[in-house]
Amino acid sequence: MKYPTGRKKRPIKQNRSNLGMTLESDLDVTNNYYLNNNIAVIHKKPTPIQVVNVNYPARNKAKITEAYYKTPSTTDYNGIYKGKYLDFDAKETSAKTSFPLRNIHEHQVEHLRMVKKHGGISFIIVHWKYHDKYFLLPTQIILKYWDNKKGRKSIPYSDFVSYGYEITFSYHPRLDYLKIIDKVYF
Amino acid sequence: MKYPTGRKKRPIKQNRSNLGMTLESDLDVTNNYYLNNNIAVIHKKPTPIQVVNVNYPARNKAKITEAYYKTPSTTDYNGIYKGKYLDFDAKETSAKTSFPLRNIHEHQVEHLRMVKKHGGISFIIVHWKYHDKYFLLPTQIILKYWDNKKGRKSIPYSDFVSYGYEITFSYHPRLDYLKIIDKVYF
């Protein structure tokens, strides 16, 4: 597949362009692989929704007719790996040089902090779409920027390269982040 | 508060009748207590909902106009306590002598089994409304009945009394199930 020269600036996801996958579905596939191969039990939490109205057009079939998305009070993913509690959030960014902290809710940062404090493994996975790279970034690096109220409101890409861990995209499993957990935490 | 004699059969929840609380909200209050006192980080997962239609009547305000409840693929509660992964579901029953296994989805039982296998602490909390008692029942007792395909399709109340652990209802925290986890697992 060839694109006109005008599109050359953005790296073309050669092998993935026809899959139409997002970070969320790549992680779902990865977590299913971990589950089916008895490696870890990690699930994405459902999106929190505030239900306002429900109809019952048919027996046993509730139809929600009014509802709203709520701000999540925790991260999206958690589970157990080698007996350890593991907790993370996944984010995508189109940014080039730094990851804006407004992409993470305050509740989520505080949750990651608490998990770390209680002896769990907590981090974020960020897909840098411009660079087409995936990084696992430990909570301590997020907190370094988050807790510095006078400092910048974003984490530089160079910090992901220096203090984060790149996750290589492959097929089976798609985003093998537990390989990094093995190296860093065990 | 006095009820006419006809209602005597059901034990009257003297102190709680005016609270209108359910097991879910009692556990929410308990988990908030654990969180605020830095004891554990345990949250209820959001109810899984399949969104079919969304409208945008106002800027930045998505209104879901058609959605349906989905069968949960895991349990409702998980988190970290003393560095350990903890996972459970909460159920209420009006039954008198046995807890019907149809109250638990197959996915939930398999999830509890997996968690136990990976070194986590997994169990169910059942509120027996008739007896007005709360029990924590370890996964192994559920599996004993679940895996016996020829056997009964319910867990007798007497098993909750013999092999489970009663959680006393109090005010602060309301259902102190971690006290039992301390005794049994640590």
Q: What is the pLDDT of residue A61?
A: 83
CA distances, B149 to each of A52, A167, B143, B145 (Å) = 41, 44, 11, 8
Q: Which two tokens stand for residue A168?
A: 């290589």
Q: What is the pLDDT of residue B114?
A: 97
Q: Hey, is the C-beta of B46 within 8 angstroms of any chain A C-beta?
A: yes
Q: What is the pLDDT of residue B83?
A: 95
How would residue A135 be classed by pLDDT, with cut points 50, 70 and 90?
Answer: very high
Q: What is the pLDDT of residue B151?
A: 78
Question: Is it true that the peptide bond before A11 is cis, omega within 30 degrees of 0?
Answer: no
Residue A18 has pLDDT above 60, yes or no: no
Cβ–Cβ under 8 Å, residues A105 and A72: yes
Q: Hey, is the C-beta of A47 within 8 angstroms of any chain B C-beta?
A: yes
How would residue A5 be classed by pLDDT, with cut points 50, 70 and 90?
Answer: very low
Q: Hey, is the C-beta of A66 within 8 angstroms of any chain B C-beta?
A: yes
Least confident of A61-65, A139-143, B10-14: B10-14
| Whether B41 and A79 lie within 8 Å, measured CB to CB | no
Measured in residues, chain A has a length of 186
Residue B3 has pLDDT above 50, yes or no: no
Residue B72 has pLDDT above 50, yes or no: yes
| Whether A80 and B115 lie within 8 Å, measured CB to CB | yes
**Better pLDDT: A127 or A58:** A127
State the amino acid at position A116 in one-letter form: K
State the amino acid at position B184 in one-letter form: V
**Mean pLDDT of the A166-172 span:** 93
| Whether A118 and B83 lie within 8 Å, measured CB to CB | yes
Separation in Å, CA of A48 to nearest CA in chain B: 5
Q: What is the pLDDT of residue B152?
A: 78
Q: Hey, is the C-beta of A19 within 8 angstroms of any chain B C-beta?
A: no
- Backbone φ and ψ for B9, nearest 5 degrees, come out as -55, -40
In 3D, which of B89, B135, B79 has the Cα closest to residue B112? B89
Residue B9 has pLDDT above 60, yes or no: no
Q: What is the pLDDT of residue A21?
A: 64
In 3D, which of B47, B46, B65 has the Cα closest to residue B55? B65
**Better pLDDT: A61 or B27:** B27
| Whether A87 and B80 lie within 8 Å, measured CB to CB | yes
Q: What is the pLDDT of residue B4?
A: 46
Cβ–Cβ under 8 Å, residues A48 and A72: yes
Separation in Å, CA of B137 to nearest CA in chain A: 21
Residue A110 has pLDDT above 90, yes or no: yes
Look up tokens 């554990």; give the residue. Answer: B40
Residues A177, A127: Cα–Cα separation, whole Å: 12
Residues A60, A71: Cα–Cα separation, whole Å: 29
Q: What is the pLDDT of residue A150?
A: 81
Separation in Å, CA of A66 to nearest CA in chain B: 5
Separation in Å, CA of B120 to nearest CA in chain A: 6
Q: Which two tokens stand for residue B150?
A: 């020829």
| Whether B62 and A69 lie within 8 Å, measured CB to CB | yes
Residue B12 has pLDDT above 70, yes or no: no
Q: Hey, is the C-beta of A65 within 8 angstroms of any chain B C-beta?
A: yes
B159: three-class secondary structure by DSSP:
helix
Q: Hey, is the C-beta of A67 within 8 angstroms of any chain B C-beta?
A: yes
Q: Hey, is the C-beta of A185 within 8 angstroms of any chain B C-beta?
A: no
Phi-psi region of A33 (alpha: psi -120 to 50; beta: other; left: phi over 0): alpha
Q: Hey, is the C-beta of A139 within 8 angstroms of any chain B C-beta?
A: no
State the amino acid at position B43 in one-letter form: H
Alpha helices (runs of H) in chain B, residue ranges in sequence order: 23-36, 106-117, 139-146, 157-163, 177-185
Q: What is the pLDDT of residue B2?
A: 44
Residues in A touching B75 (Cβ below 8 Å): none
Between helices B139-146 and B106-117, what is the axis angle to 10°?
130
Please state the three-class secondary structure of chain A as a single string.
CCCCHHHCCCCCCCCCCCCCCCHHHHHHHHHHHHHHCCCEEEEECCCCEEEEEEEEEECCEEEEEEEEECCCCCCCEEEEECCEEEEEEEEEECCCCEEEHHHCCHHHHHHHHHHHHCCCEEEEEEEECCCCEEEEEEHHHHHHHHCCCCCCCEEEHHHHHHHCEEECECCCCCECHHHHHHHHHC
Q: What is the pLDDT of residue B180?
A: 97
Cβ–Cβ under 8 Å, residues A45 and A89: no
Residues 6+ apart with CB under 8 A from A75: A45, A87, A88, A89, A108, A111, A112, A122
How would residue B69 be classed by pLDDT, with cut points 50, 70 and 90?
Answer: very high
- Mean pLDDT, chain A, as a whole number? 89
Q: Hey, is the C-beta of B150 within 8 angstroms of any chain A C-beta?
A: no
**Mean pLDDT of the B36-55 span:** 96
Separation in Å, CA of B38 to nearest CA in chain A: 8
- Percentage of chain B beyond pLDDT 70 is 89
**Better pLDDT: A21 or A83:** A83
Least confident of A15-29, B5-19, B37-51: B5-19
**Mean pLDDT of the A88-96 span:** 96
Residues in A touching B111 (Cβ below 8 Å): 41
Q: What digits encode the pLDDT tens for the residues B87-119? A: 999 999 999 999 999 999 999 999 999 999 999
How would residue B21 be classed by pLDDT, with cut points 50, 70 and 90?
Answer: low
**Mean pLDDT of the B20-29 span:** 87
Residues in A touching B117 (Cβ below 8 Å): 38
Q: What is the pLDDT of residue A141?
A: 97
Q: Hey, is the C-beta of B52 within 8 angstroms of any chain A C-beta?
A: no
